[in-house]
Amino acid sequence: MTKHKHILLFISILYLSLSACGLHKSKAQEVRVRREYRYQVNLRQLVQDQLLIELETPTIQEEEVVFYIPRIVPGIYGYMDFGDRVSSFVALNDKGETLPVQRLDKGRWKISMAQQLHFLRYRVDDGWENFNGGFVDGRFRSAESSFTENKAFVINHNSLFGYFEGKTQLPFKINIEKPERFFGATTLPLQQSSEYRDEFRAPSYRDLVDNPILYAQADTAMLRIGNTQVLVAAYSDAGAKLAGELAGNIKPLLENQRLYLGGKLPVERYAFLIYHARGNDPGYVGDGLEHATSTLCLMYSQLDEDLLKDYIYRIASHEFFHIVTPLNIHAEEIEQYNFYQPKLSRHLWLYEGMTEYATMHMPVKQGLIRIPEFARTISQKAKEASGYDPELSLTELSVHAVDKPDQYYNVYLKGALVNLCLDILLREKSKGKMGAAELMQALSEKYGPNRPFKDDELFDVIAALSFPEIRDFFRRHVEGHEALPLDKCLEKAGFTYNSDNHSVKPVKQPSLEQLQVRQWWLGRTD
C-alpha cells in the first residue's frame, strides 16, 4: 500500500469516527431535551391538608424563566390568584441542588440558572374544606380544589399545576397516586391505570385545565346520548349512591337537547362530576363550572332526592349546551387564553347568551312546555334585565366582565333576549330555513374546536352567513346600547310585550303571517 493510500485510509477512518461521535452526541442531546411537563402527586400522602407537587420540567433554554400558577381560568370573571395556596417552592438541578428562586407575587416565581433546571417541588393547600352556603368572599369553589383524606378529592388542575412563561402549548403528563378503590372521573385522556395509580395526558395547558377530576370511591352511571357517551359521577359525604338516579333524571333532557341540536352532538364523550355536601337548611346552594366536555357541580343541601334532581337538571340544561359554544365556536382570546392577565373576548352574548337562550327555547320547541309558560320565561328575563345598566353594551360588558361583577349576570338576561330577537329575525327573513340553531351549525362548520374566529370579525361573518340587515342589529343592540326591539320582534310571531311591567302574552287572534313566523320559530302555533 502506498503512502498516499495510507493517508486516505487514515482520513476515512478519522471521518467515520468523528461522524459516529457526532451521531452519538446528537442522540445524547436528544435524550436530555425534555419536551413535556411530567407532574407527580400522591393523594395518599396529605400533610397538614396539603399535597406535595413534583414536576420534572421541560428543558429550559433561557438563563431565567418564570413559573406561573393561574390567577383566573376560562368561565369565571374574577381574579382568584390560585398561587396563594402554594408554599415551600423549590427549584432543583439534576443533581438535586437548589437553584435561585424569587417569588414575584402570589402566582409567579422567577428561577435563575434556569438552563440547569430539572425539577420543581412545592406544596399546595386546597381552596375549601367543606362546601357549604356560608362563604361570601366571591371565590368560585368550582374552580378550586378540595382534599378530604380517604373520602374525596376535587382536582382543578389550575390550582395544582403550573406552567412556564411561553410554554403552555407543550404536552403534560400527570401521574396521580390514588387511595385504594378510588376512581378518577374525568374526560381527561387516561393513558394507564392500575389499582393505585393513574396516568393522564393533555396536549396543552389549556386542555389540562379544561378537564377537572373527581376522585372518590366509584359511584357512576353511563348514558348513551346519540353518538355521545355521557358519564355521571357522584360523591356525597352522606355516603349515599346518587349517580344512577341523577343520570336517569337528566337522560330525557339530554336526548331532547340532542334533537334540538339536529340529532348529532359535536362531542364523543361528556361528564357530569357531582359533589354533594349535606346541609340542614331547606333548599340548596350550588356552584358549577362548565368545561368543553364536562361540568363540575358542587351542591350543599339536605340529602333530598328531589332537591338533587332539580339542581342537576337545572345545571345540565344550561351547561350541556356549551358543547356548541365555546367548544366549537370561540375567539382567539379563548383559544390562546392568558391565565394571568387575559384579554377577554367581546362575545359573551354568544357564549353565555346563546347558551341560555337555547336552554329556554329548547323545551317549547321540543314540546316539553306550552307556549304560555315560554312567554312567562321571556317576561321574567326582561324584567330582571331591566335592573341592569342600560347604557352598558353587551360587548363592553364582555370585555370588562372582571371589572363589572355587578353587571355580569346581564349576559344571561339581555344576552338571551338578544338571541331570541336574532332567532325571530332570521326565521322571518329566511322563510323558516335559518334560525339561531342553524346559524350555530354554520359557524361550527366554519370554525371548530381548533379554528377560533377573530374577535372583531364575528359580526361581519354572521351577516355574511345570513343577511346584511343582521349586521345593523348587532351594531345597534349588542355593540351599541339601544334598547332591544323586543316588542317588534315578538309581534312578528303573534306576541305582545308590555314594556311597563315586562309581561309577554300570545295574542288571542294572530294573523296568518304571525302564525307562520311562530311555526318557524317554535315549531308550533298553539
pLDDT in tens, 413-457: 999 999 999 999 999 999 999 999 999 999 999 999 989 999 999
Gap between the terminal Cα atoms of the chain: 106
Please give the average per-residue pLDDT across 17-35, as a whole number. Answer: 52
Residue 282's pLDDT band (cuts 50, 70, 90): confident
Which sign does the torsion angle of CA 401, 406, 407, 413 carry?
Answer: positive
Residue 312 CA, distance from chain mean position:
17
What was the pLDDT predicted at 429?
Answer: 97
Residue 524's pLDDT band (cuts 50, 70, 90): very high
CA atoms of 227 and 249, how far apart (whole Å)? 19
Give per-residue pLDDT as tens, 81-101. Answer: 999 999 999 999 999 999 999
Q: Rounded to the nearest 5°, which phi and psi values hold at 74?
A: -60, 140
Residue 225 pLDDT exceeds 50: yes
What was the pLDDT predicted at 129?
Answer: 85
What was the pLDDT predicted at 18?
Answer: 37
CA atoms of 393 and 347, how far apart (whole Å)? 11
Length of the chain: 526
What was the pLDDT predicted at 138?
Answer: 64
Give per-residue pLDDT as tens, 98-143. Answer: 999 999 999 999 999 999 999 999 999 999 988 986 665 667 899 9
Domains annotated on the chain, with CATH: 37-216 (2.60.40.3650), 219-323 (1.10.390.10), 332-522 (1.10.390.10)
Which H or E element spans position 436? helix 436-446
CA atoms of 11 and 175, how far apart (whole Å)? 51
| HSE-CB of 279 using CA atoms within 13 angstroms | 20
Residue 379's pLDDT band (cuts 50, 70, 90): very high
CA atoms of 78 and 297, how far apart (whole Å)? 19
Residue 16 pLDDT exceeds 60: no
CB atoms within 10 A of CB 216: 25
Q: What is the dihedral of CA 472, 478, 484, 485, to 10 degrees?
A: 20
3-state secondary structure (DSSP) of residue 171: coil
Question: Using an 8 Å Cβ cutoff, are 279 and 298 in contact?
Answer: no
- For the chain, count helices (H), then strands (E): 15, 22
User: What percent of the chain is predicted at pLDDT more than 90?
Assistant: 88
Return all residues near 424 (Cβ < 8 A) that are at least 6 apart.
489, 490, 492, 493, 517, 521
What was the pLDDT predicted at 137?
Answer: 65
What was the pLDDT predicted at 132?
Answer: 84
Residue 90 CA, distance from chain mean position:
31
pTM metric for this prediction: 0.91
Residue the block writes with cell 357549604: 132
Residue 526's pLDDT band (cuts 50, 70, 90): confident
What is the maximum span of the chain, computed from C-alpha positions, in angstroms? 114
CB atoms within 10 A of CB 268: 10
